Chain A
């Protein structure tokens, strides 16, 4: 059974880079999905899609964040990683990783989420 687990610092200083990893277990990151996504949720608010990386390596990002974000896959560790640059307090949120399977365009498996606070 495929599972996802986010990891990374819970506190990041303003203007620094937020880096989170999502470990994929129970399957290969190469073949277990059409795409791997990051999605975030500010405290008490709704869901915002950040971006995804396809099996091909192509990436797509939310234009609201496009200039500050990158997502990459590490096949050797079966993980994918989010980097969000030049963070501000507005980037404080729970960050989720999620899978889009090969058979439907939806987010069918999610990590439990990790809270990241941007504060000095």
Chain B
């Protein structure tokens, strides 16, 4: 199985801050990397697919980058509604695997 490792596990930031989350795959996955946001009690929501493509309806403050084994999700200016847990997920091979999650808290 491909292991996905996110860092940090949690972070606290202020409104307007730039936030960066990293995701590392245990082997190259080209650009087969997706990012999701999950709020408590809700299903995950797709934010970014294929490493850098913004899902329809997702604000442009979210950007994804990377290829191979190292990826980042950035929020250019954190908003109050951006709290939650963020997961990366590889779609390079089965079994599909997720990172352990990064919890984002608003200061």
Residues of A within 8 A of B (CB): 37, 46-49, 60-64, 96, 98, 104-108, 110-113
Contact = CB atoms under 8 A, between A and B. Distances in A.
A97 B57 CA distance: 21
Interface residues of B, number: 24
B81 interface: no
Given A49-B97, A49-B98, A105 B91 contact: yes
* Majority secondary structure, A binding face: loop
B100 to A, nearest CB: 5
A26 B19 CA distance: 36
B106 interface: no
Contacts of A64: 95
Interface of B: 1, 32, 34, 36, 42-46, 49-50, 53, 55, 87, 89, 91, 94-101
A107 B89 contact: yes
A104 B50 contact: yes
Contacts of A107: 34, 36, 44, 46, 89
A64 B97 CA distance: 12
Contacts, number: 55
A98 B98 CA distance: 14
A96 B43 contact: yes
5 contacts: A61-B95, A62-B94, A63-B1, A108-B46, A113-B43
A46 B43 contact: no
A63 B49 contact: no
Given A107-B44, A108-B46, A46 B95 contact: no
Nearest to A4: B43
A48 B34 contact: no
Contact of A47 (B32, B42, B44, B53): B44
Contact of A62 (B32, B87, B95): B95
A90 B78 CA distance: 36
A35 B29 CA distance: 20
8 smallest A-B Cβ distances: which pairs?
Answer: A110-B43, A105-B91, A49-B96, A106-B49, A106-B34, A62-B95, A47-B98, A60-B94
